[in-house]
Structure 1
Amino acid sequence: MVVIGGGIIGLELGSVWSRLGAEVTVVEYLGAVGAGMDGEVGKQFQRILQKQGFKFKLNTKVVGADTTGETVKLKVEAAKGGKEETIEADVVLVAIGRRPVTKGLGLEKIGVETDKRGRIIIDDQFNTSAKGVKCIGDVTFGPMLAHKAEEEGIAAVEIIKHGHGHVNYDAIPSVVYTHPEVAWVGKNEEELKAAGVQYKIGKYPFAANSRAK
């Protein structure tokens, strides 16, 4: 099995099939897995998956596929261009991200504007360009997470009822449901460095956690 995309969904589903006995190869355009994950955590996570049998082709892009036979033949090359290589697989999973489904809803008829990616444009109080219409969740900006949408929904109702509401987007956790799981919340080290924010690093051995084997 080849998974195109080394993000959260690709790694989760690849992990399931790996534990069921499939040989899994992940093709990722970027140089690291788990977009948004702390760099050190991401490298350790990749090593754990490799010990489980995962193979990774990072900095690699898919340029074509042949599905005429019983298997799929993927043509890949370096992200910056280079020698083409063929990977053969029984099945290919495409997990290169999600996009909001807003076409065909008639939004333009009521004056709701979207951007080029189909996301509904809102202000800091969740107002759309149409008077009296607010928007939250996966069809607008930010991570497509259920608990993020829930917090936005609560804040939107508070704004309607009391005139104010707030979502702390830095406090929204992300989780990768592999084995073991990986989770994080807030800014990662790379983001803090880029922002010029001083920080301290603390490390806790997972072996001391009661869930560790």
Structure 2
Amino acid sequence: VWRRLGAEVTVVEYLDRILPGMDGELVKQTQRIFAKQGLEFKLGHKVTGAKTTKSGVTLTVEPSKGGDAEELKADVVLVAIGRRPYTKGLGLDAVGVELDDRGRVKTDEHFQTNVGGIFAIGDTIVGPMLAHKAEEDGVALAEMLAGEEGHVDYGKVPGVVYTWPEVA
């Protein structure tokens, strides 16, 4: 989005490719499209420092596998290092709902928590953190609560990257 608004954009990625976990050919074509749009890539690099200046931010980056550091100057830095469940402040601890070591609500195959009558779906539980997955969880839970057999086949939930163009 920032590139389409005229900003210069450099993606710094620790791994040697963008979109890890997605199909290699899809990634190759996506990166080609992004490069055509004007995005620059520093693949196989890690950020080792950031300093704010009067004119923006100076990042220090170096190759992930070792090598000489270099500086990148930017007006703004956007850090995107993954997703995590937003369960703080929901009062789950007050009612005794158990969380796993990553802060996700523990549930059984019927979305039931360890506390009777409390269910959890979507981004708060194990699985992809995607709106369409949460919607499927909700439909399955509603079916179960209505006495039907609700089910989500997580193997068929597509991974999505909300870019332009979108990647799935």
Same fold per superposition (TM over 0.5): yes
Offset of 1:116 from its aligned partner?
A: 2.0
> Size of the alignment, in residue pairs?
168
Is 1:172 the equivalent of 2:146? Answer: no
* Equivalent residue for 1:99, pick from 42, 63, 84: 84
Which of 80, 97, 100 pairs up with 1:115? 100
Instruction: Show CA shifts across 1:48-96 (max 9, x none).
Output: 2112211111121111100133120001112233322211111111111
Q: Could you tell me how far apart the structure 1 residues matched to 2:131 and 2:71 are? A: 38
Are 1:138 and 2:154 matched, yes or no?
A: no
Letter in 2 for 1:102: T
Distance 1:177 1:98, change over 3 A: closer
Whether 1:23 aligns to 2:8 is: yes
Structure 1 pair 129/81, CA: closer, same or farther in 2 (3 Å)?
A: farther
Give 1 or 2: higher helix fraction: 1
- Amino acid corresponding to residue 56 of structure 1 in structure 2: F
Give yes or no for the alignment of 1:84 onto 2:69: yes
CA distance in 2, matches of 1:104, 1:82: 43
Residue 55 of structure 1 aligns to which amino acid in structure 2?
Answer: E
State how far apart, in whole Å, the 2-side matches of 1:54 and 1:68 are: 23
Residue 136 of structure 2 corresponds to: 151
CA RMSD of aligned residues (A): 1.6
Identity %: 61
Flag the structure with more relative contact order, 1 or 2, with Cα contacts below 8 A and sequence separation at least 6: 1
- Where do 5+ consecutive residues of structure 1 fail to align? 1-15, 184-213
Q: Could you tell which deviates more after superposition, 39-48 or 73-82?
A: 73-82
Cα drift, residue 148 of structure 1:
0.8
* 1:75 equivalent in alignment to 2:60: yes
Equivalent of 1:50 in 6, 23, 35: 35
Q: Give TM-score scaled by structure 2 length.
A: 0.91
Q: Which 5+ residue runs of structure 2 have no aligned equivalent?
A: none
Tell me which residue corresponds to 1:206: none
Amino acid at match of 1:61: K
